[in-house]
Structure formats: structure tokens, C-alpha cells
Amino acid sequence: MSWADLATIAPLAAAILVAGLVILTDIALPGRRVPALAVSFIGLAVVAGLAIAVGVHPATAFGGAYRVDDLTTYLDLLFVAVIALTLMFAPDYLAARDLPLPEFAAVLIFALSGVMLISASADLVILFLGLELMVLPGYLLAGFAKRDALSTEGAIKYFLLGSFSSAIFLFGLAFVWGLTGTTRIDGVAAALKAIAGGSTPLSPGLAMGLAFLTTGVAFKIAAVPFHYWTPDAYQGSPTPVTGYLSVVPKIGAFALILRLFVGALGPLSADWDIIIVLLAAATMTLGNLVALTQDSVKRMLAYSSIAHTGYMLIGLAAWSSPNSRIEGLEGLLYYGAAYAFMNLGAFAVIAALQRRTGISSQLETFAGLGRREPLLAALMTLFLLSLTGIPPTAGFFAKAYIILAAVQAGGPAGILAVIAVLNAAVAAFYYLRVVVYMFMRDPRGEPAPLVVGRLMRSGLIVTAVLTVLLGLVPGLLLPIVGNAARALTL
């Protein structure tokens, strides 16, 4: 390892070091939440600064297996922002249940190192290692409330199905490696160009590898019909963890898809694009239809997150068309950022309501919230409108961008654009039903006054500002997204 390699991996190394420092802080000052939070936030700021500094000049490390480019920098900064917001939303909820905040922060930051490794992977082996570093902390966080039977049940289901899907994905990588003779992403793409050109037929083994890879990543992003773990894992997890699970592992899995399917398997896009189209259509449709039947807002948002997976897959389907390659990737990346902030904000409002133990996430909990807590009700309305796709929010522009890319692509992707518009109309019903309960229904009894901590309130304001800003001024992010998309296609 050279000094140049160390400089290139500095953001990743810093994330691991910060997680270790949080643990050491907890050992030195046991039970003290403020020092652990201070180390976490300062450390995340350092990681973000290093990511920006290293990303100025694209570079590779370890013989090309680790690659820093505009896509890596964009994803790293997005992941750092989401982890920081999760840490702002968690203290109130965890303190009420006597759950250890320093351990929570350390596991979160270890998970950050996994998604950062995925975003910089230029080798199949490194890609798989990053995937496991991302999902293993997720299993721990899902069962973080170990005295809660629902949390334990959700964590076990998440672990079993997650491990199973990782094994399937690894089988797929092994097939691709064995039949192309290399683990480097650019090497795999070069080997597959001969097959794409028609000079070499697609072998049954390589087709099997594609099937395994598609199945493995479909589990990770909770695409239909591989979504069964999602509602139980989301409902049972502590609510701040649910917000994290709905955003970081999903966007991390899409980063893996971009590196693998666009970077390595791009030459065979004609062979796998119809599968992506079918997955996208089934995922957004079933996710929205099942969400209609839910009385728990937390479980409703779980099915909603499945539907948003379908919307994001439209970008990948659009990319596989020669008419809309760069637009499809830009739409997917923009949607990832918009979805992260609006969905995390919605789960944060639920966490604020559940600061006192014994409060459920049923619709009745939100009855009369507009009179009891007008700020929380207004913020929840904003996030739900954005998830619906109502202007001028980030969700509207994200949906519009990705649908326009699909229309431009034409063919099967154009059909997905129509399905997406119809699904957005369906989604409006269950999102706006929560708004009706907040402003047009009376609560049962007299709910106790709600106290929202300063960190929680600050985090909610940040997510709300970003949700509005990305909708009103999308040009702030579009150049960054464009550079990230072009870096992937170089």
C-alpha cells in the first residue's frame, strides 16, 4: 500500500476511525450521550470534508480496485448527511427506552463505511465486501430494542432473508468471474462486449449468473416479489432505525446496481432490461396497492418505500435505452437524494410522536395533531406531499425527472412512465389520509403534551428545508448529479 493509496481511501479510513473513537469515548465516559454525539458529528464533518477534498481529483487505489470519481463523492456526501440526520433524530427516542446511544452511533458509522466502500468499488470482490459491511450493521440495528419481541422478530427475518440473498448474489458474482476471467468491473465489461456484439453467444452459465445477481439485488432493494422482509423489519425496528433502513441500505443497493449493472454488465443491457421493467412495474404497483390497506403509518411507509424502489428502477430501465442513457441515470441519482430527505423526515415525525413509550404509529395517533402540534403536523404534511409528488417539493421534481427520462427512452420504459403516473395517483390516497387525520379528526381522550428535543427539531427543519429547496431550485443539485452520472459512463 502506497501513500497515494492511503490518501485516496482517506474518507473511508476516517469513517472507520470515527466509529472506533465513538466506542472509546463511551468506554472512557460511560453513559454520557453528549460526548459520543459530539465525536460522531465532528467525525462525520471530517469525513465529508475529506470526501470533497479527495473527490476534486479522480483517483484509484490498490491497483484500480478502489475508484474515487464524481459518483463516489456524490454518494459519500449523501450517505454522510443521512447518517448525521439519523443521529439527530435518535436521542429522544432512545433515551425514553433506555437504549444506548453511543453503541447506536458506532454501528451507524460502521454501516457508513460499508456504503462508502460500495460507492468506490471497481472490483467485484470489493463490491461484495462493501455490501456485507453495509447490511451486517443493519441486522444489529433492526434488533436494537432487544427487549421488544417485534424488533427481535423483524431482525431475525431481515437477517435470514438478507443472508440468503447475499449467498445468491455471491453465486452470481462467482459465475460472472469464472466466465469472464476477471473480477475488475471494467474487465468484465470488456469481456462481455464480445457477447453483446454477437460474435460470442450468451452461455447458459452467464445467463445463470445474471439471474442470480438480479435476484440478489432485488432482495436488497426490496423489489417485488422479494420484498417480504421489509414490512416486518421496518415495523419492528426502533423508528429512527426504520428511517435509516428505508434510506441508506436502499440507496447503497442502488449504488451497487449502478456499479455492477451499468459498469460491469452494461454491454448485456439488452438481455436484462426487460427484467428491470417487469420488476419496476410490479414493485411500484404492489407497494402502493398494499399500502392502501394499512392502518399503521409506519407499516404504510414501509410499503410506500417498496413503491419508491419501483420508481427508482425506472431510471435504470430508461438507461438501458440508447435514447435516454444519461437522463435515466441522472433521474435515478436525483430521486435517491430527494427520497432520502423526505422519507427520513416522515419517519422522524413518527419518532417524535413516539418519544413517550407506549405510543403506536396507528392512524389514530395522528388524529388532531394539527391542533396539538401544528409544527409537527405541518412538517409531516410537507413530507407526505413530497412523497406523493405534489409541487413544489423535491418529490415532484424527482418523479417528473425520472418519468420524462422514461418517456424519452420510449418502448417498455415509456410504458413504465404511464404506470408511474397512475401509481402516483393511487399513492395520493393513503398519504393524504394521514393529513385528513391530522387536521380533520379529533383525538381519543386528551393526549399528553409532546416535548420535542432540540436535536430532533433541528433535524426536522433541515429535512424540510432540503425537501422544499430541491423542489424549488433543482438546479442546485442537477450539475452534481450530471457529473456523477457521466463518471459512471466513462
The residue among 60 and 247 whose pLDDT is bigger is 247
| Residues pairing with 59 in the sheet | 68
Reported as half-sphere exposure (CB side, CA atoms, 13 A), residue 443 has a value of 16
Q: Identify the pLDDT of residue 154.
A: 82
User: Does residue 321 or residue 29 have the better pLDDT?
Assistant: 29
- Are 290 and 334 a contacting pair, CB within 8 Å? no
Higher pLDDT pick, 485 / 149: 485
Q: In the structure, what pLDDT confidence band is assigned to residue 403 with cuts at 50, 70 and 90?
A: very high
**Mean of all residue pLDDT scores within the chain:** 87
Average the pLDDT over 195-208 and give the result: 74
Alpha carbons 420 and 396: distance in angstroms, whole number: 12
Confidence class of residue 488 from pLDDT cuts 50, 70 and 90?
A: confident
Q: Considering the entire predicted model, what is its pTM?
A: 0.93
Which residue type sits at 411? G
- CA torsion sign, 435 to 341 to 132 to 271? positive
> What cell does 420 get?
408511474
Residue 441 has pLDDT above 70, yes or no: yes
Identify the weakest region by mean pLDDT among 55-64, 87-96, 378-387.
55-64
pLDDT at 373: 84
pLDDT at 57: 84
Q: How confident is the model at residue 108 (pLDDT cuts 50, 70, 90)?
A: very high
Peptide bond into 449 cis (omega under 30): no
User: What's the pLDDT at 446?
Assistant: 65
Cell of 285: 404497483
Residue 79's pLDDT is 95
pLDDT at 104: 92
Set of cell numbers at residue 138? 443493519
Q: What is the pLDDT of residue 56?
A: 85
Question: pLDDT at residue 198 above 70?
Answer: no
More confidently predicted of 236 and 462? 462
Q: What percent of the chain has pLDDT over 90?
A: 42
pLDDT at 448 over 70: no
Average pLDDT over residues 432-456: 80
pLDDT band of residue 1 (cuts 50, 70, 90) is low
**C-beta of residue 313 within 8 angstroms of C-beta of residue 223:** yes
Q: Among 14-28, 117-131, 173-187, name the one with the lowest average pLDDT.
A: 173-187
- Check residue 324 and give its pLDDT: 59
The predicted structure's pLDDT at residue 355: 77
Q: What average pLDDT does range 334-350 have in this prediction?
A: 93
User: What is the pLDDT, as a whole number, of residue 447?
Assistant: 64
* Confidence band of 226 (pLDDT split at 50, 70, 90): confident
pLDDT recorded at residue 326: 85
**What does the pLDDT average to over 467-478?**
91
Q: Is the pLDDT of residue 140 over 70?
A: yes
Please give the pLDDT value at position 200.
67
Residues 94, 91: Cα–Cα separation, whole Å: 5
Per-residue confidence band for 99, with pLDDT thresholds at 50, 70 and 90: confident
According to the model, what pLDDT value does residue 144 have? Answer: 86
**Rounded distance between C-alpha atoms, residue 1 and residue 452, angstroms:** 48
Q: Look at residue 15 and tell me whether its pLDDT is greater than 90.
A: yes
Position 164 pLDDT exceeds 90: no
Task: State the SS3 of the chain.
Answer: CCHHHHHHCHHHHHHHHHHHHHHHHHHHCCCCHHHHHHHHHHHHHHHHHHHHHHHCCCEEEHHHCEEECHHHHHHHHHHHHHHHHHHHHHHHHHHHCCCCHHHHHHHHHHHHHHHHHHHCECEHHHHHHHHHHHHHHHHHHHCCCCCCHHHHHHHHHHHHHHHHHHHHHHHHHHHHHHHHCCCEHHHHHHHHHHHHCCCCCCCHHHHHHHHHHHHHHHHHCCCCCCCCHHHHHHHHCCHHHHHHHHHHHHHHHHHHHHHHHHHHCHHHHHHHHHHHHHHHHHHHHHHHHHHCCCCEHHHHHHHHHHHHHHHHHHHHHHHCCCCCHHHHHHHHHHHHHHHHHHHHHHHHHHHHHCCCCCCCCEHHHHCCHHHHCHHHHHHHHHHHHHHHCCCCCHHHHHHHHHHHHHHHHCHHHHHHHHHHHHHHHHHHHHHHHHHHHHHHCCCCCCCCCCCCCHHHHHHHHHHHHHHHHHHHCHHHCHHHHHHHHHHHHC
More confident residue, 85 or 164: 85
What is the pLDDT, as a whole number, of residue 160?
87
